Amino acid sequence: MDAVKRYFRSPAAVIGLVLLLIVLAMAISANWIYPREPLALAGRPLIWPFSNPRFLLGTDNSGRDIAAQIFYGARISLLIGGVATAIAIAIGILIGAFAGFYGGWVDNVLMRVTEAFQTLPNFVLLLVLVAVFGSTLTTVTIAVGVVSWPAPARLTRAEFLSLRNREFVQAGRTLGMRDLQLILGEILPNALPPVIVYASVIMAVAILLESALAFLRLSDPNVASWGNLIGLGRDVLRVQWYVSAIPGIAILVTVLAVSLVGQGLNDALNPRLKGR
């Protein structure tokens, strides 16, 4: 397809894809390279990176292997990022579709709800959700998804508003298609592309939100996540700054990769906006 060719013409997009694949590879290969439980006691705490061949990236304050946590952490970040984004988009599409298709009071009510979520600072809502529902991986992921749906909702609504009066929709109505069929079968496939591209932004923000929660020690301590490592490293920031720095770089690289891929997709699917 043209879009694919366009994608690969941009060096930034390619770099993004490569980085993302590396992170993915880390996540998949974690079992083989580091077969032991990543949160188990591996050695003395706070060993410096590159000083001990057994611990390439050193150990953290609880004596756990940092390199192992980076590999396993890739799973968590991609998981949280992916699932939270999926939740946000699912909710967003649902609400945006119905609001945009039906208009009138349905639109009004749904937009009020969306506005409510957008006016409330999303991090404050996240804090409340975590305080109420706890800090397990499941609840944190769902909470991050729940605070992120307004933007895809608005995007979807905008698309539906502009698409619902197009000829192909009117044709479908004349054919006697029911509303649900029209929404899901006809309009949605056309409305999806901008939303999917926006998904990369949501994913980037989701990963950053989870790491901020972990920094405040509000995330799940039973899994090896990058955010948890940063939070742990806060206590030894001055001397053993690598405990926080290394996962910070991991997050940076992943978010960068996701953003570049998203940008690349956007440019590839909307060539005229590239402006060259």
Partner 1 sequence: MDFSRLEINRRSALLTSAAIAANVINPMRAFAQETPRKGGVFNVHYGAEQRQLNPSIQASTGVYIISGKIQENLVDLDGNGQPVGVLAESWEASPDGKTVTFKLRKGITWHDGKPFTSADVEFTAMQMWKKILNYGSTLQLFLTSVDTPDPQTAIFHYERPMPLNLLLRALPDLGYISAKHLYESGDIRQNPTNLAPVGTGPFKFVKYERGQYIIADRNPDYWRPNAPYLDRIVWRVITDRAAAAAQMEAGELDYSPFSGLTISDMARLAKDKRFIVSTKGNEGNARTNTLEFNFRRKELSDIRVRRAIAHAINVPFFIDNFLGDFAKLGTGPIPSTSTDFYPGANTPQYPYDKAKAAALLDEAGYKPGAGGTRFSLRLLPAPWGEDISLWSTFIQQSLSEVGITVEIVRNDGGGFLKQVYDDHAFDLATGWHQYRNDPAVSTTVWYRSGQPKGAPWTNQWGWQDPAVDKTIDDAATEIDPVKRKALYAEFVKEVNTELPVWMPIEQIFVTVITAKARNHSNTPRWGSASWYDLWLSA
Partner 2 sequence: MRILKLAGRRLAASIPTLILILVGIFLLLQFAPGDTVDAMMAQMGGGDAATAQELRRFYGLDLSIPLQLGHYLWRLVRLDLGFSSIYGKPVAEVILERLPPTILLMTASLSFAFFFGLVFGVIAARGVNKWPDTMISIAGLIFYATPSFWFGLMAIVVFSIYLQWLPAGGFEDIGAVQTGLWRTLDIARHLVLPTLTLGLIFLAIYLRIMRASMLEVLNLDYVRTARAKGLDETRIVTRHVLRNALLPMVTLIGLQAGTMLGGSVVVESVFSLPGLGRLAYESVVQRDLNTLLGIVFVSALLVIIVNFVVDLIYARLDPRIAAEG
Question: Of residues 76-135, which lie at the interface with partner 1 (CB under 8 A)?
Answer: 131, 134-135
Shortest distance in whole angstroms from residue 177 CB to partner 1: 50
Q: How far apart are CA 146 and CA 245, in angstroms?
A: 29
Phi and psi at residue 106, in whole multiples of 5°? -60, -50
Residue 222 binds: one of partner 2, partner 1, none (C-beta under 5 to 8 A by kind): partner 1
Q: Is 44 in the site for partner 1 (CB under 8 A)?
A: yes
Q: Is 116 in the site for partner 2 (CB under 8 A)?
A: yes
Amino acid at 38: P
Q: Is 255 in the site for partner 2 (CB under 8 A)?
A: yes
What 3-state DSSP class applies to 53?
Answer: coil
Nearer to partner 1, 65 or 107 (CB): 65
- CB 63, CB 55: distance < 8 Å: no
Q: How far apart are CA 138 and CA 56, in angstroms?
A: 31
Site track 212-251 with partner 1 (rule: CB under 8 A), x = hit: -----xxxxxx-----------xxxxxxx-----------
Shortest distance in whole angstroms from residue 90 CB to partner 2: 20
Length of the chain (residues): 276
Among 244, 263, 269, 254, residue whose Cα is nearest residue 208: 254
Residues that bind partner 1 (CB under 8 A): 37, 39-41, 44-46, 61-63, 131, 134-136, 217-222, 234-240
